[in-house]
């Protein structure tokens, strides 16, 4: 069959078989499949992980949580069962994204020079399976369906976390921080994780608000999520929440007025540039007013010291997840110098990736991100659907949070799974073609 215009040859048979095959065999997603995806998304946030036997913390990272490893292995086996009839097409779709394949290959090759080979081997296996699940998510579900599944997963976590804090405060509320008072962490492992998901949920509600669907309910939900972020005592998330709500109207304006895109972006840059300048000159007063120190609770020291270790191996790094692998590993001296003995990573996506995979790994990631972002912008300007701006919204959220909290290439992690799914969805969900699984 001749290849359709604009569709890669290797990708076309897969998309063709998905869209034109028997609906009851290929297109229809069972309730069990959707429930499974939601389950994986929930667990990928570290929700309920504290209920599993085993110790957490840096000093136990080398061995990992045995029961958690068994659980994730089981989940990935179930994924392969669901995808058993389309495994070759799924792998063919993965192969289409050369920057991602190159990045994964580089992470695999880093075993050769890793300072902690057992950890690199084990964690790379989990990373690869996480990527395959992201491809599976894009392969089986359209952007609209993905947004719904993510929404369900987030609300399960938020409702469960609220219930845990109200009815089981010894489990859901952390009271160790005497300087800031009790901090809600819910069913997650720390307060920042809960606050981060609350910000993401608020962005999704903003999408539905823009769609003019139950706008009053959406506004009430955003207000409640803002209150939840306050209860977590996560000041960084509070700032991100406010910035996200300020930035969203500009994203929507770009979608509604693509011809004036440059003027809208220039106006947005002018406003946020002014805010950035004001923040720079009032940094100390701002951080103190938020109950934070100007060094961001040790993050600035951690970043500066990390650059010293990066200078020793600037191009290759220390191997995938080898640098921070355990309490007595290569990062031990850095943790002592920074005064942060429990630091699990660099708290900056680019610095952490540079430590792991060197400058080459950083460049490969940046290349893939730029390509994905450009395709997301194209999708935003060529469709009026609210789902069309979900990729851009998520990518900006992911990038902003990477500067202080999240890391790239995180195994069994919600944000990394969604990022991988986004890399493929922005290519296959473009109009006028029907999105993957949209017919169902």
278 within domain boundaries:
no
Asked if residue 36 lies in contact with residue 82, where contact means CB atoms within 8 angstroms, the answer is yes
- Burial class of residue 390 (count of CB atoms within 10 Å of its CB; 0-12, 13-18, 19+): buried
Whether the per-residue pLDDT at 26 is higher than 50: the answer is no
Residue of 8 and 223 predicted with greater confidence: 223
**pLDDT tier for residue 406 given thresholds of 50, 70 and 90:** confident
220 within domain boundaries:
no
The domain tally of the chain equals: 1
Q: Mean pLDDT for the chain?
A: 82
Question: 3-class DSSP state for residue 189?
Answer: coil
Round to whole Å and give the CA distance between 319 and 352: 11
- List all residues 6 or more positions away from 320 whose beta carbon is below 8 Å from its beta carbon: 107, 108, 110, 111, 114, 120, 123, 124, 127, 356, 357, 409
pLDDT in tens, 227-238: 999 999 988 898
* Other C-beta atoms lying within 10 Å of the C-beta of residue 281: 9
Asked if residue 190 lies in contact with residue 232, where contact means CB atoms within 8 angstroms, the answer is no
pLDDT at position 7, please?
38
DSSP string, 256-294: H-GGGHHHHHHHHHHHHHHHHHHHHHTHHHHHHHTT--T
310 within domain boundaries:
yes
Asked if residue 420 lies in contact with residue 131, where contact means CB atoms within 8 angstroms, the answer is yes
45 within domain boundaries:
yes
- List of E strands, 285-339: none
DSSP string, 194-248: HHHHHHHHHHHHHHHHHTTSSHHHHHHHHHHHHHHHHHHT-HHHHHHHHHHHHHH
Round to whole Å and give the CA distance between 187 and 194: 8
Residue of 385 and 416 predicted with greater confidence: 416
323 within domain boundaries:
yes
pLDDT in tens, 239-248: 889 888 887 7
pLDDT at position 90, please?
84
Whether the per-residue pLDDT at 56 is higher than 80: the answer is no
pLDDT at position 295, please?
67
Percentage above 90 pLDDT, the chain: 47
Whether the per-residue pLDDT at 169 is higher than 60: the answer is yes
Rg (CA), the chain: 22
Of 30-34, 79-83, 108-112, 340-344, where does mean pLDDT reach its minimum? 340-344
pLDDT at position 69, please?
82
Asked if residue 151 lies in contact with residue 201, where contact means CB atoms within 8 angstroms, the answer is yes
pLDDT in tens, 246-256: 877 777 777 77
350 within domain boundaries:
yes
325 within domain boundaries:
yes
pLDDT at position 252, please?
72
* Residues of the domain holding 34: 30-166+292-428
Averaged pLDDT for residues 4-25? 37
314 within domain boundaries:
yes
């Amino acid at each position: 069959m001749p290849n359709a215009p604009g569709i890669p040859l290797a990708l076309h048979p897969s998309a063709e078989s998905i869209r034109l095959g028997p609906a009851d065999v290929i297109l229809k997603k069972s309730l069990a499949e959707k429930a499974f995806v939601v389950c994986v998304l929930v667990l990928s946030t570290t929700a309920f992980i504290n209920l599993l036997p085993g110790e957490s913390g840096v000093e136990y990272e080398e061995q990992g949580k045995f029961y958690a490893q068994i659980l994730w292995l089981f989940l990935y086996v179930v994924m392969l069962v669901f995808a058993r009839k389309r495994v070759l097409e799924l792998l063919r779709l993965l192969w289409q994204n050369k920057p991602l394949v190159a990045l994964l290959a580089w992470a695999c090759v880093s075993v050769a020079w890793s300072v902690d080979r057992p950890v690199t081997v084990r964690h790379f296996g989990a990373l690869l399976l996480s990527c395959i699940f992201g491809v599976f998510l894009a392969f089986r579900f359209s952007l609209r369906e993905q947004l719904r599944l993510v929404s369900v997963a987030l609300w399960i976590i938020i409702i469960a976390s609220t219930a845990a804090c109200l009815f089981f405060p010894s489990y859901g509320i952390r009271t160790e921080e005497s300087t800031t008072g009790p901090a809600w962490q819910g069913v997650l492992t720390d307060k920042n994780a809960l606050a981060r998901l609350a910000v993401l949920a608020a962005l999704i509600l903003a999408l539905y608000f823009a769609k003019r669907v139950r706008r009053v309910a959406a506004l009430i939900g955003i207000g409640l999520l803002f209150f939840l972020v306050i209860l977590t005592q996560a000041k960084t998330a509070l700032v991100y929440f406010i910035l996200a709500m300020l930035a969203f109207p500009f994203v929507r304006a770009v979608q509604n007025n693509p011809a004036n895109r440059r003027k809208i972006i220039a106006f947005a840059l002018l406003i946020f540039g002014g805010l950035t300048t004001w923040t720079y000159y009032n940094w100390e007063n701002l951080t103190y007013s938020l109950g934070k120190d100007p060094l961001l609770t040790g993050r600035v020291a951690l970043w500066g010291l990390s650059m010293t270790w990066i200078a020793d191996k600037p191009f290759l790094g220390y191997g995938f997840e080898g640098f921070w692998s355990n309490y007595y590993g290569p990062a031990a001296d850095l943790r002592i110098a920074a005064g942060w003995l429990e630091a699990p990573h660099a708290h900056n996506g680019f610095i952490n990736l540079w430590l792991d995979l060197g400058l080459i790994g950083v460049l490969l990631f940046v290349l893939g991100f730029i390509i994905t972002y450009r395709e997301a912008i194209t999708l935003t300007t060529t469709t009026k659907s609210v789902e069309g701006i979900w990729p851009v919204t998520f990518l900006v959220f992911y990038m902003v949070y990477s500067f202080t909290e999240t890391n790239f290439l995180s195994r069994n992690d919600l944000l990394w799974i969604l990022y991988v799914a986004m890399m493929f969805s922005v290519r296959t969900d473009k109009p006028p073609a029907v999105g993957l699984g949209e017919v169902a």
